[in-house]
């Protein structure tokens, strides 16, 4: 029985770790730590990237917020710079005279036709005297368009100032 006890003691006792094995274990632990640190760093980089991409882009000076209302001469300058001219009058008024290149969407239809107004350009809303254009501007702003203004004085002042108008469709 003494031999049996000795064998079982030998089986349960730990073998001494050699220096080579100890170095390999330390290297493996070091590699594991490096991978963990690298993984955490990667997660941080991804999270920061997502947060940065969700922030709105900084507007350039040319995309400075438009005032709620502009004069006829300011509207002409915006048109010349590529602004979308939106006429919210009725078709009969439009046929009698409108700004060349303008688009007609009567005020009563604007809320259901907002998708026809470009979001990548400044928008100047025009009417006969300036009242309906302010309402049209507010409809577009409420729909999320930010670069929208209305022309004070409307087509009455546009034509009175000598700016070009065209008749017909």
Q: Are 47 and 126 contacting, i.e. CB atoms less than 8 angstroms apart?
A: no
CA distance 46 to 131: 50
- Neighbouring residues of 156: CB distance < 8 A, sequence distance ≥ 6: 128, 129
Q: Which is nearest to 146 in space by CA: 77, 67, 82? A: 67
The DSSP letter of residue 111 is T
7: left (phi over 0), alpha (psi -120 to 50) or beta: alpha
Q: Is 66 a catalytic residue?
A: no
Question: Of the listed 83, 86, 124, 127, which one is catalytic?
Answer: 127
Strands (E), the chain: 69-70, 84-87, 103-104, 123-126, 148-151
d(CA 106, CA 104): 6
Write out the catalytic residue numbers: 127
């Amino acid at each position: 029985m003494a031999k049996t006890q000795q064998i079982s003691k030998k089986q349960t006792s730990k073998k001494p770790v050699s220096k080579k094995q100890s170095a390999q274990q330390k290297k493996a632990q070091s590699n594991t730590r490096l991978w963990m640190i690298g993984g955490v760093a990667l997660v941080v980089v991804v999270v920061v990237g997502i947060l940065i991409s969700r922030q709105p882009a900084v507007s350039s000076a040319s995309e400075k917020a438009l005032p709620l209302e502009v004069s006829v001469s300011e509207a002409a300058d915006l048109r010349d710079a590529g602004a979308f001219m939106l006429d919210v009058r009725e078709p009969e008024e439009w046929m009698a005279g409108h700004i060349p290149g303008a688009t007609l969407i009567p005020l009563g239809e604007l809320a259901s036709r907002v998708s026809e107004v470009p979001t990548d350009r400044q928008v100047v809303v025009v009417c006969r005297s300036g009242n309906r254009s302010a309402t049209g501007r507010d409809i577009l702003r409420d729909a999320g368009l930010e670069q929208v203004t209305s022309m004070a004085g409307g087509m009455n002042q546009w034509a009175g100032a000598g700016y070009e108008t065209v008749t017909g469709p």
